[in-house]
Amino acid sequence: MTAKSLCHFADASSSSVSTLSPAPISFPQKRRQKTIDDLYRDCWGDLTAWLYRRYGVGPPEPEEIAQAAFAKMMEVPDLSLIRNLRAYLFTTAVRCAIDGFRGQGRAQRFIDNELKAHQEEVGEITPERVFIARQEFSALANRVKALDPKQREVVLRSRIMGQTYDEISQETGWSKSAIGRYLQSALVELAASNPATALNDTKE
Amino acid sequence: MNDNNKKSTQDPSHQAEIEAQAAAWSALLYSGEATPADQIKFSIWLKADQAHQTAFRRLEQTWRDVDYAVLSDEELSQNLEELHPASVHQGRPKAWGGMIAAAGVMAASLLIAGAVFLWPAQHAPSTEYRYASPLGEIKTITLPDGSAMDLGSDTQVIADFSDKERSIKVVNGQAFFDVVRDEQRPFSVKVSSTEVRVLGTSFEVVKQKSGVEVFVVEGIVNVLDLPDRAPPQLADEGLPSARLTQGQSVFADARGTLGAVRPFEREHAQSWRQGMLVYQNAPLADIVEEVNRYRHKKIELSDAPLDDILVTVSLPIHDTDLLLSALEISEPVTITMNQDIVSVNLNAE
């Protein structure tokens, strides 16, 4: 989807809107469009600039990732549950980016398939999970902060920036075996009290 | 995902060993160094023991949750900002900067001017509480002031308590409140454009597609139609409102416009809390809407005349399929189970 069509989708007065949504727009849909519209206006520039700083010129290009992220946001059923829309948008963009990095996306799909073969599934980021598990996510953030700085850097580079050991090694000068050690020990520490397991045990 | 404790009886050192193995596999698989042979070895390891599967899935969940955890945290976002992408040195930042600026201008010129979007302010964490019930279950919760709250299936609620007020927002679903009286701290429940205010009483609110329904079981409540834009004022004598007493209910549409105050069947409003959904001569469309909140596989009425059929039925919340059996016996309908929906069709004459 191009930037232009995204904008038109958000602009109810535009003539193209009738072809996109022929049914009368109900009140919540209108409000939801306004939220996307506002998010687009406030975050498009920030997001593309941020993606450029995190991932460079690509491919995938920052604008491609941003557009994919906005397209995904439009499919989110209940935006009102999300307290921090900006973080949610940026996370969605990171996931689109990871999907676009050939190696990382492939690894993730391979893992999903392997787990599915044993009826195990990894929960996606959804408004419901973000809503219910807010405290668990912030506990996880605290565990990331508590990591040794080298461990933390490897986690951020690997998970969010999608870098391989080779790339991390080039950037930091650390050996690949050291990077592997940092990452493994960090994973053990982060999973020590897994937020996901608390998802169905809501407060109380 | 309630199977995390399948093998929790493992001895701790063995468990730690499995977790370390899971971490080693995860690190390798995302390293960019994994060979096809490694992938096969991983498959064999995963298959070998259910404890491996559980440990790996938990680890993988944590790993994938890291991005949202980091991005919703200011300090970590800043840490991330200081790292360089691997490919930036080969790129041409200036040209890209220009292109990004151009994209910004394009976006701005295409959008009509509007209000500035403000990110939700951070509330003091000590006063905000969030509650949610899973689909198909009812949860009883004691609020910080001692009031009781029962949540129907798939309900999310935010409670914001301060010295001056007790304020609840029902984001989705159905909730019953038994409120402890506190004249210094009014208790209010907001659902869409409707607000219910009480001092101490028991009542129920149900958020539906078409609006909000309020039932009063005991005491007196005020139901207000909130203005669309402005935040609710403290002095709101001017707002349209309805005063309900025991045994009365009112329906407010999605914009908050209040209908007439009516008596209600006490049995219906209360029964879900005992795990039953009870209807007496209720339109089928209303029943299906409520029943669907308790079901993974939703029911869909395919023909409009079905909406208005009046039905009397009692359904346990864990076995709402009984509604389908009852319909099949008493009405000229055909029921089709699809992968993610159950459709009810009127038979052709």
Provide, as residue numbers in chain B, all residues whose Cβ is less than 8 Å from the Cβ of A190: 62-63, 66
Distance CA B230, CA B50 (A): 55
B150 confidence band (pLDDT: 50, 70, 90): very high
Contacts of B95 (CB under 8 A, 6+ apart): none
Q: Is B243 left (phi over 0), alpha (psi -120 to 50) or beta?
A: beta
pLDDT computed for residue B98 by the predictor: 31
The β-bridge partners of B252 are B212, B258
pLDDT tens track for B237-291: 678 888 998 889 999 988 888 999 998 876 666 788 888 898 888 899 999 999 9
Burial grade of A71 (CB within 10 A; 0-12, 13-18, 19 or more): middle
SS3 content of chain A, % helix, strand, coil (to 5): 75, 0, 25
Give the nearest chain A residue to B108 (CA atoms). Answer: A41
Distance CA B208, CA B288 (A): 11
Does A11 reach chain B within 8 Å, measured CB to CB?
yes
CB contact under 8 A, A171 and B84: yes
Distance CA B230, CA B30 (A): 49
Lookup: tokens for A177: 């075996």
A28 confidence band (pLDDT: 50, 70, 90): low
Burial grade of A14 (CB within 10 A; 0-12, 13-18, 19 or more): middle
Distance CA B264, CA B251 (A): 11
Residue A189 contacts residue B27 (beta carbons within 8 Å): no
Lookup: tokens for B204: 């129920």
| Candidates A57, A132, A138; nearest CB to B87 | A57
Lookup: tokens for B118: 């403000």
Distance CA A202, CA B149 (A): 14
* Torsion on CA atoms B189, B192, B193, B198, rounded to nearest 10: -10
Give the nearest chain B residue to A180 (CA atoms). Answer: B27
User: Taking Cα atoms as reference points, which of B98, B108, B340 lies closest to residue A42?
Assistant: B108
Whether the predicted pLDDT of A143 surpasses 70: yes
Provide, as residue numbers in chain B, all residues whose Cβ is less than 8 Å from the Cβ of A80: 171
Residue B212 contacts residue B231 (beta carbons within 8 Å): no
Distance CA A140, CA B270 (A): 39
Sequence letter at residue A120: E
User: Count of CB atoms within 10 A of residue B269's CB?
Assistant: 22
Lookup: tokens for B274: 């005992």
Whether the predicted pLDDT of A22 surpasses 50: no
> Region B305-324: what's the mean pLDDT?
90
Whether the predicted pLDDT of A24 surpasses 50: no
Distance CA A167, CA B321 (A): 55
pLDDT tens track for A48-83: 888 887 777 767 778 888 888 888 888 787 777 787
Q: Is B138 helix (H, G, I), strand (E, B) or coil?
A: coil
> Region A87-97: what's the mean pLDDT?
88
Give the nearest chain A residue to B97 (CA atoms). Answer: A49
User: Count of CB atoms within 10 A of residue B41's CB?
Assistant: 14
What does R_g of chain B's alpha carbons equal in angstroms? Answer: 27
Question: How far from the centroid of its chain's Cα atoms is residue A99's Cα?
Answer: 10
User: Count of CB atoms within 10 A of residue B151's CB?
Assistant: 25
Does A170 reach chain B within 8 Å, measured CB to CB?
yes
Provide, as residue numbers in chain B, all residues whose Cβ is less than 8 Å from the Cβ of A123: 1, 61
Length in residues, chain A: 204
Provide, as residue numbers in chain A, all residues whose Cβ is less than 8 Å from the Cβ of B117: 38-39, 41-42
Provide, as residue numbers in chain A, all residues whose Cβ is less than 8 Å from the Cβ of B84: 171
Tell me the pLDDT of chain B averaged across its residues.
Answer: 79
Give the nearest chain B residue to A97 (CA atoms). Answer: B67
Residue B221 contacts residue B203 (beta carbons within 8 Å): yes
Distance CA A44, CA B105 (A): 10
The β-bridge partners of B149 are B141, B177
> Region B4-14: what's the mean pLDDT?
58
pLDDT computed for residue A73 by the predictor: 84
Sequence letter at residue A48: T
For B279, list phi and psi in degrees, rounded to 5: -130, 140
Whether the predicted pLDDT of A39 surpasses 80: yes
pLDDT computed for residue B127 by the predictor: 65
- The sign of the torsion formed by the CA atoms of B190, B194, B197, B201 equals negative
Residue B190 contacts residue B167 (beta carbons within 8 Å): yes
| Candidates B30, B60, B101; nearest CB to A158 | B30
Provide, as residue numbers in chain A, all residues whose Cβ is less than 8 Å from the Cβ of B211: none
The β-bridge partners of B198 are B187
Does A118 reach chain B within 8 Å, measured CB to CB?
yes
Whether the predicted pLDDT of B109 surpasses 60: no
Whether the predicted pLDDT of B7 surpasses 70: no
Does A28 reach chain B within 8 Å, measured CB to CB?
yes
Q: Is B335 helix (H, G, I), strand (E, B) or coil?
A: strand
Q: How far is A178 from chain B (nearest CA, A)?
A: 12
pLDDT tens track for A110-119: 898 889 888 8
Q: Bigger pLDDT: B133 or B304?
A: B304
Contacts of B336 (CB under 8 A, 6+ apart): B342, B343, B345
Q: How far is A72 from chain B (nearest CA, A)?
A: 16
Distance CA A56, CA A89 (A): 19
If contacts are CB pairs under 8 Å, which of residues 149-168 in chain A contact chain B?
152-153, 155-161, 163-168
Lookup: tokens for A111: 């893992």
CB contact under 8 A, B87 and A55: yes
B349 confidence band (pLDDT: 50, 70, 90): low
Contacts of B205 (CB under 8 A, 6+ apart): B170, B174, B175, B177, B189, B191, B196, B212, B213, B214, B215
pLDDT tens track for B72-93: 888 888 888 878 766 543 333 3
> Region A126-144: what's the mean pLDDT?
86
Peptide bond into A59 cis (omega under 30): yes
CB contact under 8 A, A87 and B68: yes
Task: Mutation target for A interface from B71, B74, B75: give the one with most A CBs within 10 A.
Answer: B71
DSSP code string of A10-30: H-TTSTTHHHH--SPPPHHHH
pTM: 0.47
pLDDT computed for residue B251 by the predictor: 92
Sequence letter at residue B25: W
pLDDT tens track for B114-146: 222 222 333 333 367 777 777 788 888 888 888
Provide, as residue numbers in chain A, all residues whose Cβ is less than 8 Å from the Cβ of B135: none
Strand order in the sheet with B341-346: B298-301, B341-346, B333-337
Q: In chain A, count H helices and then E strands.
A: 11, 0
The β-bridge partners of A146 are none
pLDDT tens track for B18-69: 999 999 999 999 998 888 788 888 988 998 899 999 999 999 999 999 989 9
Distance CA A56, CA B307 (A): 55
